[in-house]
Structure 1
């Protein structure tokens, strides 16, 4: 599946899809919550699909494609996702797409197989899961995704649904008030203020992993403000054991999405240095681990590589 951004409005054009005419006196179809206990999951049809995608501009939307008749495991995955999404209290909105009931959506999205779970963030679809997972592994996966999103300043939350997805112009999404000042500062380009706001949250609650991740990535942004990438890379190439030069390029790699390159650079620096230089390199690397999230496979691999470099 491609990961091209949707264009808004009309991200996926469903206007030409055939829709059965409603029976006389029958109410128009609308998305409904799969059970009364689920406030953040909705059953999606062609009419509501585009409106659901629009909600991803404020907080992430998950799409679970399944067929209970063709693959019961995909239906179980959808049920478990609804349970886990509920536990995140608005961090995600889950759209349940029964491909037997709505084949047009599966066709429009070019679904290769089921089960398939797609994350949509700011209109951009990204495949998330393609195999059934136990519910505990789902919890770990969604917690990890939430940490990474928070580290990027994406902290919006959905309001609970009571049976329908609002239109794009309708119900406003809410931002978790704990993170609103930091997010507002990031949106305004005031990185120093964002660092200060995240630091307040971490000081008040060191166990707040979302705040800790946000603080870590905000500090990366703070350290790299105004830095010339080419000059930084040249300095690092000329001074392979200089901690400041190497950590700066590692930070720039992080912001550019080259997470594994950043980790490898600092692991190598730890292996080459000693005493205070080694300690500084190690501490910097631990900060980057926090920015990505401790459950991320790249962090787990990075920790193993760091242990080998240290011992």
Structure 2
């Protein structure tokens, strides 16, 4: 089973990304459940999927964001491409994303947002550099990557996104312009979850971080090797750490006190929840490289925790592990 490693509860990302400003996550999740029930009913009745024929690549503005991204994310994962006309790397990445959106034939929708024309959305997502790619699934933020990536890496990331959407939310794309009605894959049932694990996921989804942490720990007490519970716990602990942060103060401390290990740990957490995965990893690798003893071990262990949040198969984790090995040995 692919880990649910990139699902971050938007309600807990105050100061980093405020999706609640456009749509409450709980309301979106409710719509997602309704959409799943409707798809199941259509599949049982042999009816074509609702919504067939919507475009797979769309330009989104501040006025259309709620409808085109948040509401649509209850039916299909929406990949959000932040770009600008002057951005050279954007011109390399955007054609790859557009081509894959067409190739995936409705399993994702690509929403393109010009950051110059939609500065409010860019601020809400904490965009610090472009190209930046995120996703929204059932109203929940899923950080993907920042900077240009080659097609093989983008394909791998999108495959992981689709797996998370299917297994965690029961959202199966395929109702878009290129999809065929009655596709058996689109009607595939969700794999049943362990009730204790499902309770932990539900606690995380509703923002009960303390309850989620305890529930994941309970699962791990009985099943120490449960990878999904390990990832869920790492995610809940990350969100618990950042929910009380003052982002400006954290970043100011990290910039002015490069030898302050705690400041660098806090800034790395903010980087990660803001979708700046490489920045988070790079910051901690640098911290490991410039410290020794207990400080070095603290930074190394936090980096390993963040690896768990993203997932061991992610190419950014592989690259960061290599960088970490260089500074350690």
How would you bin the TM-score normalised by the shorter chain?
0.5 to 0.7
Q: Which residue is 2:302 aligned to?
A: 284
**Residue in 2 that maps onto 1:115:** 103
> Counterparts of 2:100 and 2:326 in 1: how far apart (Å)?
40
| SS of residue matched to 2:108 | strand
2:206 maps to 1:188: yes
Judge conservation of contact 1:144–1:295 (CA < 8 Å) in 2. Answer: no
In the alignment, the residues of structure 2 paired with residue 279 and residue 115 of structure 1 have an alpha-carbon distance, to the nearest angstrom, of 44
CA distance in 1, matches of 2:51, 2:253: 55
Conserved 8 A contact 2:165-2:171 = no
The structure where helix makes up a greater share of residues is 2
User: Aligned-pair RMSD on alpha carbons?
Assistant: 4.8
Q: In the aligned structure 1, how far is the partner of 2:99 from the partner of 2:47?
A: 17
Residues 252, 111 of structure 1: alpha-carbon distance in 2 compared, 3 angstrom cutoff: closer
User: Which residue of structure 1 lines up, in the alignment, with residue 311 of structure 2?
Assistant: 293
- What is aligned with 1:57? 74
> What residue number does 2:239 align with?
221
Equivalent residue of 1:241, what SS? coil
Q: Secondary structure at the match of 1:294?
A: coil
Instruction: Report the counterpart of residue 320 of structure 2 in structure 1.
Output: 302
For 2:221 and 2:201, how far apart are their aligned partners in 1?
A: 17
After superposition, the Cα gap between the structure-2 partners of 1:280 and 1:114, relative to the gap in structure 1 and judged at 3 Å, is same
Answer with 300-309 or 201-210: which moved more: 201-210
Give 1:75's aligned residue. Answer: none
C-alpha distance 234-61 of structure 1, shift in aligned 2 (>3 A): closer
Distance (whole Å) between structure 1 residues aligned to residue 270 and residue 312 of structure 2 = 20
Aligned with residue 280 of structure 2, among 240, 262, 267: 262
Is 1:199 aligned to 2:217, yes or no?
Answer: yes
- Distance, in Å, in 1 between the alignment partners of 2:299 and 2:226 is 25
Q: Across the two proteins, how many residue pairs are aligned to each other? A: 211
Q: Note if contact 1:116-1:131 (Cα within 8 Å) is conserved in structure 2.
A: no
- CA pair 201-49 structure 1, distance change in 2 beyond 3 A: farther
Compute the displacement of 1:183 (Å).
2.8
Specify whether residues 143 and 216 from structure 1 end up closer, same or farther in structure 2 by C-alpha distance, changes over 3 A only: farther
Instruction: Judge conservation of contact 1:198–1:214 (CA < 8 Å) in 2.
Output: yes
Q: Partners in 2 of 1:45 and 1:199 — Cα distance? A: 39
Q: Deviations over 1:142-179 (max 9, x none)?
A: 884478669xxx823479xxx969xxxxxx98983343
1:256-284 deviation per Cα after TM superposition (whole angstroms, max 9, x unaligned): 11111000000000000001110110000
Distance in 2 (CA, whole Å) between partners of 1:146 and 1:112 is 13
In structure 2, the CA distance between the partners of 1:209 and 1:49, relative to structure 1 (3 Å rule), is farther
Deviation of 1:131 after TM superposition, in Å, equals 7.9
Aligned to 1:155: 168
Structure 1: 5+ residue stretches without partners: 9-29, 34-41, 63-109, 166-171
Partner of 2:95: none
Cα deviation, residue 182, structure 1: 2.0
Contact persistence 1:157–1:173 (CA under 8 A): yes
Q: Distance in 2 between matches of 1:164 and 1:56?
A: 21
Question: 2:77 touches 2:165 (CA, 8 Å); kept in 1?
Answer: no
Separation of aligned partners in 2, 1:222 and 1:47: 37
Tell me the secondary structure at the aligned position of residue 219 of structure 1: helix
CA shift in 2, pair 1:255/1:149, >3 Å: farther
More contact order relative to length (CA 8 Å, sep ≥ 6): 2
TM-score (norm 2): 0.50
Is the Cα contact below 8 Å between 1:239 and 1:245 reproduced in 2? yes
Q: Which secondary structure state, in structure 1, belongs to the residue aligned with residue 263 of structure 2?
A: helix
Contact 1:202 1:208 in 2 (8 A): yes
Where in structure 2 are there 5+ consecutive unaligned residues? 1-21, 23-27, 29-40, 55-67, 79-97, 110-136, 145-149, 173-180, 184-188
